[in-house]
Chains A and B, each alone.
Chain A
Amino acid sequence: MKSHPATPYAFLLPALAVYGLFVLVPIAGSLRMSLFSWGDTPTSVFVGLRNYAQLLGDHVFWRALYNNILLLVASLLLQLPLAAAVAMLLSYKTLFKPLFRMSFFAPMVMPTVAIAILWQYIYLPEGGLASTLVSKILGKPFAYAWLAQPSSSPWLPSPSMFWIFVTICWQYTGFHMVLFMAGIAAIPEELYEAARLDGASELQVCRHIVIPGIKPTIAVSATLSIIGSLKYFDLIYLMAAGLPETDREVMATYIYRLAFDQGQGRFGYGSAAAIMLLLVAIVVVVPIQWSKRKRQ
C-alpha cells in the first residue's frame, strides 16, 4: 500500500520507543554493568571481564545451568510424550471430551504462585498428599521431605528437582495436549479409513499415520519447551527454597538471588550471569529458528 514516506515511521514510533526503552536499553545496560564491580565493592569500578572469569569458576552458576538443562531434557522426554499420549487417547470418540480438555488445561490459567503454594501442601513431609499416598501403600506411617532433599553427589541433581518437575508437568501438560489435539485433528480422515481398510491395527495407525502427521506440532511443542525452560523462575524460586544453595538454583533464580536476595546487591556480578543466560538463549534459539526458516 502506498503512503507518505514518513507515515509508517509515525505508526511504528510509539511501539519502538516503549520496546527500546524497556527491552533494548536494559539489555545494553546489563552488558555494561557486567563489566563493573557493582555492589561487590563500595564504589563501582571498571573491572573488564573479571566478573565473567569469576563466573566460570563459580560452581553454583554451573549447577544452575545444569538444572536448566536437566529440566529441558526432562520436559522433552517425559512431558511431551505424556501430552501426546493424552491427546491421542482423546482423539477417539470420548464421553465428556470437553470436560477432560478443560480440566487438563485449567492449571495454565492459574497464577504460578498459587500452583507453588498448593503443591507445597501436597509435598508436606508429614500428612501431605504424596506422603499420605505412600504411607497408604506401605501400610505404615511415612514422612519424607520431598522438597528439601540435597543431592547426594556433585553429578546428580537434587531429587527434589524431579518432584518440582512433576508440578511443572501438572501445569503445562494440558497446554501441549491442546496443541497435539489440534495437530491430530488436522490429519485427513481418509488416511485413517484407508489404513483401517488395509487392516492396520491401532498401534500401526498410531505409528505410521498419527506420529508422522503431528511432526510439525512436535516441532512447535519442542521449541516452546526449549525456550520456556530457559525462562523457569516462579516455581523453582518458590518451591526449591528449602534446598541448599548449591542445589536450588536455575539461571533465572540465581540472577535474582545475586541481585536482590537479602541485600546481596551484587548487580555487576548478577548482570554477568544475566548476559551468560542471554548467550545460552542465543546459542539454543538461533539454530532452531534457522532450521525452521530452512524448512519453510
Chain B
Amino acid sequence: MKYLRHLILFFGLLCSAYPLVWMCVTAFRLEADAQASPFAFPKHWVTRNISKVFASGGFEDPWLNALLILVALCLAGLAVLVLLHIVQGRFRISTCIAVAILTSTVVFSKCHPSVQEALSGKGFANAYVNSLLVCIGSVALTVALSSLAAFAFALCEFRGRNTLFVIILAGMMLPVHVTLIPLNLLLGPDFLGLKESLWALVGPYVGFALPVSILILRSAFQAVPTELLDAARIDGCSTWQVFAHVALPLARPSIATIVIFNFLTMWNEFAFALTLLGPDNSTLPIALNDFKGERGMYIAETCAALAIVVVPLMIVYGIAQKHIIRGLTAGAVKG
C-alpha cells in the first residue's frame, strides 16, 4: 500500500514536472535535432539558442541584455523587500537607500538615451523592465489604496459602510473581460489618452486588485485588539496615526499576502496587456506571445525564450515557496 501510494505520487510528479524539464533541456539543443524529434534525448548541447534570444531586440551584445535582465530581476526582488519594509513600519536608512537606488536606476534606464534606444521595441530585456515598472507601480498603489480603505471599512463607523463594501466586493465576482471594450475606449485617445503606453495598465490592474486586497486587509484590521486602538487614542493619536503606527504594522502577514498575490497576478496578466499596450511596450507575457508568433516554428529557440521567462520565476518560487503558496491560495480563497 505504501509503495503503491509513492508510485502514484511519483507518476504525478513526472506529469507535472516533465514539461518544465523538457523545456529547460530543449533550450540547449541543436535546432535541427529539436525539429526532427522534439521529445528525444539530446545528443548535442549548445548555448546558441539562449544567446540568440538575448540578441533579438535590446542591446547588440546578448550578454548586455542578459545583464540587464539580471539587474531587472534583482531590482524586482529589492522592490518587493522595500514594499514589505515600508508596510512593516521599518522605514530606516537602509530602506531609504534601497528606494533611492531603485528609483534612480529605473528612471535612468528609461531616460538615458543609449539605454532608451536599446529598450525601444521588442526583446525580453525591454519586456522585463516594462513588467517590472508596471508591477511595482501597481502593487505599491494597490497596497496604499487598499490598506487605507480597508482600515476605514474595518474600524471606522460611517453611513453607507455596508453598501459601499458590497459594491467593492462585487468586483471580485466580475469576469474582467466584461470591461475590455469600454476600458479600451476610456484609455484611448478620446478620453484619457494613455493607451499604447505602460501607464494604461496601472489603472485596470489596481482597480481589479482592490476588492480582494481590501477584503483580506479588512479582516486583518478587524483582528487588531480594540484595547490597543483605544490605548493609542487615549495617548492622543489621530486616526491617521492609529492607522500608520498601530494597525498597519500589525497587519504585516496580510500585507505580504496581497503583495505576493497581486505581484504574481499582474506579472502574468495577459488580456489587458494584449489589448492596451502598443507594439513597443510589451510586458513579458506579450513578448512571449509575439516571440511564439514570429519564431514559434523554431522549437529550441522558443524553449530558450520560455526558459528565460520561467526559470527566474521558478528560482524565486523555490526560495520563497512557503510564502508564495500561502499568498496565492489565501488571495484566491478570500476572493
Contacts and interface: CB of A to CB of B under 8 A. Distances in A.
A1 B229 contact: yes
21 contacts: A8-B152, A8-B158, A11-B239, A15-B210, A19-B171, A22-B208, A29-B182, A89-B5, A102-B325, A103-B17, A106-B317, A111-B270, A117-B296, A117-B302, A121-B299, A121-B303, A128-B39, A170-B19, A251-B177, A274-B178, A278-B175
Nearest to B292: A117
Contacts of A4: 239
B93 interface: no
B74 interface: no
A139 interface: no
Interface stretch (B60-68, B98-106, B141-149): B141-149
Contacts of B284: 111
B200 to A, nearest CB: 10
B181 A106 contact: no
B178 A278 contact: yes
B15 A170 contact: yes
B177 A86 contact: no
The binding surface of chain A is classed by DSSP as: helix
A114 B271 contact: no
B70 interface: no
Contact of B19 (A2, A113, A122, A238): A122
Interface string B204-226: 10111011001000000000001
Contacts of A74: none
Given A1-B242, A278-B174, A106 B314 contact: yes
A11 B16 CA distance: 45
A118 B19 contact: yes
A137 B131 CA distance: 44
Interface string B261-301: 00010011011000100000000111011001000100100
Contacts of A110: 268, 310, 313
Interface stretch (A143-151, A186-194, A205-213, A226-234): A226-234
Contacts, number: 267
Interface in A259-296: 259-260, 267, 270-271, 274-275, 277-278, 281-282, 285, 289
Given A1-B242, A90-B9, A109-B314, A12 B149 contact: yes
B257 to A, nearest CB: 14
B333 interface: yes
A188 to B, nearest CB: 21
Interface in A25-53: 25-27, 29-30, 33
Interface stretch (A55-63, A92-100, A153-161): A92-100
B73 interface: no
A94 B267 CA distance: 34
A119 B210 CA distance: 32
Interface of B: 1-2, 5-6, 8-9, 12-13, 15-20, 22-23, 36-39, 141, 144-146, 148-149, 151-153, 155-158, 161, 164, 167-168, 171, 173-186, 203-204, 206-208, 210-211, 214, 226, 229-230, 233, 239, 242-243, 264, 267-268, 270-271, 275, 284-286, 288-289, 292, 296, 299, 302-303, 306, 309-310, 313-314, 317-318, 321, 324-325, 328-329, 332-333
The 9 closest A-B pairs by CB, nearest first: A22-B207, A29-B182, A15-B149, A26-B182, A11-B152, A252-B177, A8-B156, A26-B179, A111-B268
Contacts of A242: none
Interface of A: 1-5, 7-9, 11-12, 14-16, 18-19, 21-27, 29-30, 33, 86, 89-90, 92, 94-95, 98-114, 117-122, 124, 127-129, 132, 170, 174-175, 178-179, 182, 202, 220, 224, 227, 230-231, 233-234, 238, 251-252, 255-256, 259-260, 267, 270-271, 274-275, 277-278, 281-282, 285, 289
Contact of A234 (B179, B264, B271, B302): B271
B155 A127 contact: no
A227 B183 contact: no
Contacts of A107: 16
B16 A170 contact: yes
